[in-house]
Amino acid sequence: MIGLTLKHMRYFAALAQYGHFGRAAEACAISQPALSQQIKELEGMLGAPLVERASRQIRLTPLGTDFAERARAILLAVDEIGELARASGGPLAGRLRMGIIPTVAPYLLPQIITALSNHFPDVELELREAVTKSLIDDLLDSRLDVAVLALPISEPRLREFALFTEDFVLVRPSEDAAKPVPNPETLAEMRLLLLEEGHCFRDQALAYCSMEATPARQVMEGSSLSTLVQMVGAGMGVTLIPDMALNLETRSADVSVARFQAPSPARTIGMVWRKTTPLADQLMQMGAILRNVRGAAA
* CATH number of the domain residue 247 falls in: 3.40.190.10
Inter-residue contact 25 to 31 (CB < 8 Å): yes
Q: Which of 85, 108, 125 is the last residue of a domain?
A: 85
DSSP-assigned letters across all residues of 80-132? HHHHHHHHHTSS--EEEEEEE-TTTHHHHHHHHHHHHHHH-TTEEEEEEE--H
What is the extent of the structural domain holding 204?
A: 165-266
d(CA 136, CA 155): 9
Same-domain status, 179 and 235: yes
Residue 44 belongs to a domain with what CATH number? 1.10.10.10
Are 183 and 218 members of one domain?
yes
Residue 104 lies in a domain: yes
Q: Is residue 250 part of a domain?
A: yes
Domain-located, residue 1? no
Task: Tell me the per-residue pLDDT of 58-87, one tens digit each, with 9 for 90 and over.
Answer: 888 989 898 988 888 888 877 777 666 566
- Rounded to whole angstroms, the Cα distance separating 208 from 183 reads 10
Q: Same domain for 69 and 190? A: no
Regarding whether 203 and 72 lie in a shared domain, the answer is no
Same domain, 224 and 78: no
Regarding whether 191 and 44 lie in a shared domain, the answer is no
Q: Which residues of 195-216 are buried (b: 16+ CB within 10 A; e: fewer)?
A: beeebbbbbbbbebbebeeeee
Would the pTM of this model clear 0.85, i.e. be above it?
no
Does residue 282 lie within any of the structural domains?
yes
Residue 10 domain-assigned (yes or no): yes
On whether both 169 and 121 belong to a single domain, the answer is no
Structural domains of the chain, count = 3
Q: Are residues 260 and 175 in the same domain?
A: yes
Q: What is the pLDDT along the chain (298 residues), one digit of tens a residue?
A: 567 888 888 898 888 888 888 888 888 889 988 998 999 988 888 888 999 887 667 888 989 898 988 888 888 877 777 666 566 656 677 889 999 999 999 999 999 999 999 999 988 999 999 999 999 999 988 889 999 999 999 899 999 999 999 999 999 999 999 999 998 888 888 888 988 877 888 888 888 887 664 444 456 788 899 999 999 999 999 999 999 999 999 988 899 999 998 888 999 999 999 998 888 888 999 999 999 887 444 4
* 172 and 262, same domain (yes or no): yes
- DSSP state at residue 191: -
Is 66 contained in some domain?
A: yes
Q: Same structural domain for residues 147 and 170?
A: no
Whether residues 111 and 192 share a domain: the answer is no
DSSP string, 143-183: S-SEEEEEEP---TTEEEEEEEEEEEEEEEEGGGTTSPPP-
Q: 173 and 233 in contact (C-beta within 8 Å)?
A: yes
Domain boundary among 85, 108, 128: 85
Together in a domain, 283 and 201: no
Q: Is residue 16 part of a domain?
A: yes
Q: Would 284 be classed as within a structural domain? A: yes
Q: What are phi and psi of 156, to 5 degrees?
A: -60, -20
In this structure, the dihedral spanned by the alpha carbons of residues 218, 221, 226 and 229, taken in order and rounded to 10 degrees, is -10
